[in-house]
């Protein structure tokens, strides 16, 4: 255990392993969960962190503060301390990423957040803005974080949109996410639109994929395990569970979906669970 202590040190520390030691190229590995300080899990008698990040929570707070200052130099970023909110957002992000079965989300069996991965950062900035808004009711900083996310990653995802706990953004440039009702295991690709018709938004079940240039609008109820093919479009139309949608309303077609979305892109149990 002496070696384990040398490599991993005290549980819950913000410092990386050893003295700046890197266990995966470009990634700092932390003891336990840097957001919560939960204990390490043990594998083969050796402790292993379950969540790694490229920046410590304090570094990430400073990085986001500088992003806000650079994109929106009105001085508002100097009025807040982001560290507590960053930790809470990272906890939600870990929960989300631990269910994703896709390259770059797990490295060396560790759930991974890379601030230089734009898909990761798009999700994190949403979680951060939404966490601040839910905790305090503040809209000033969350609005700025929404704006930064839109400028950096090209996604229109407002902080008050009720995203599910588990979702995946795949190079979501040009995607507009409205205030619909969403189930877990949601996947959004580029140039998708979820919007209202006459003030009514869609309702999504669990395990829904919107491939590129999909639009789902209005009073539409979408079942579980539904895949929208590229360039599909519906408005005020329902889709049953276990379906593939192709084409444009009113001439769209509903085909059977035989592979659950969770089996395609997600894990049946969270990483480390």
Let me know whether 137 and 9 are in one domain: yes
Do 123 and 169 form a contact (C-beta atoms < 8 A)?
yes
Does a cis peptide bond (omega within 30 degrees of 0) precede residue 33?
A: no
C-alpha 80/C-alpha 187 separation (Å) is 32
For residues 141 and 195, membership in a common domain is answered with no
Digit-by-digit pLDDT tens for the chain (273 residues) are: 232 222 222 333 444 443 333 444 445 554 444 444 444 343 344 444 588 999 999 999 999 999 999 999 988 767 778 888 999 999 999 999 999 999 999 988 889 999 999 999 999 999 999 999 999 999 999 999 999 999 999 999 999 999 999 999 999 999 999 999 999 999 999 999 999 999 999 999 999 999 999 999 999 999 999 999 999 999 999 999 999 999 999 999 999 999 999 999 997 666 544
Residues 7 and 125 in one domain: yes
Question: How many domains are there within the chain?
Answer: 2
Domain assignment of residue 77, yes or no: yes
Nearest-angstrom CA–CA distance, 40 and 125:
26
β-strands 176-177, 193-195: how paired? parallel
Together in a domain, 121 and 248: no
Beta carbons of 210 and 225 less than 8 angstroms apart: no
Q: What is the H or E stretch that residue 149 is in?
A: helix 140-153
Give yes or no: residues 139 and 171 share one domain. Answer: no
Residue that finishes a domain, picked among 123, 154, 185: 154
Predicted structure pTM score: 0.83
**185 in the same domain as 126:** no
CB 243 within 8 A of CB 226: yes
Q: Looking at the structure, tell me whether residues 150 and 185 fall in a common domain.
A: no
CATH number at 239 reads: 2.160.10.10
């Amino acid at each position: 255990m002496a070696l384990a202590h040398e490599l991993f040190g005290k549980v819950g520390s913000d410092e990386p392993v050893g003295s700046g030691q890197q266990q995966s190229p470009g990634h700092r590995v932390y003891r336990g969960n840097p957001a919560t300080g939960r204990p390490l899990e043990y594998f083969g008698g050796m402790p292993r962190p379950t969540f790694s990040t490229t920046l410590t929570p304090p570094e990430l707070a400073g990085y986001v503060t500088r992003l806000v200052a650079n994109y929106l130099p009105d001085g508002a970023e100097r009025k807040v301390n982001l560290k507590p909110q960053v930790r809470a957002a990272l906890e939600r992000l870990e929960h989300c990423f631990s269910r994703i079965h896709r390259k770059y989300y797990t490295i060396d069996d560790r759930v991974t957040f890379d601030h230089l991965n734009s898909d990761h950062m798009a999700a994190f900035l949403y979680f951060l803005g939404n966490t601040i808004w839910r905790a305090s009711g503040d809209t000033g900083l969350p609005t700025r974080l929404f704006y930064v996310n839109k400028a950096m990653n090209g996604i229109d995802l407002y902080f008050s949109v009720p995203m599910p706990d588990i979702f995946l953004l795949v190079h979501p440039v040009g995607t507009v996410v409205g205030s619909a009702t969403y189930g877990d295991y949601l996947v959004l690709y580029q140039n998708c639109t979820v919007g209202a018709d006459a003030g009514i938004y869609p309702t999504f079940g669990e395990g829904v994929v919107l491939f590129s240039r999909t639009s789902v609008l209005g009073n539409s109820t979408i079942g579980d395990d539904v895949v929208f093919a590229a360039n599909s479009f519906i408005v005020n139309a329902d889709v049953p569970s276990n379906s593939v949608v192709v084409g444009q309303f009113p001439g769209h077609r509903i085909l059977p979906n035989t592979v659950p979305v969770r089996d395609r892109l997600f894990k049946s149990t969270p990483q480390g669970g």
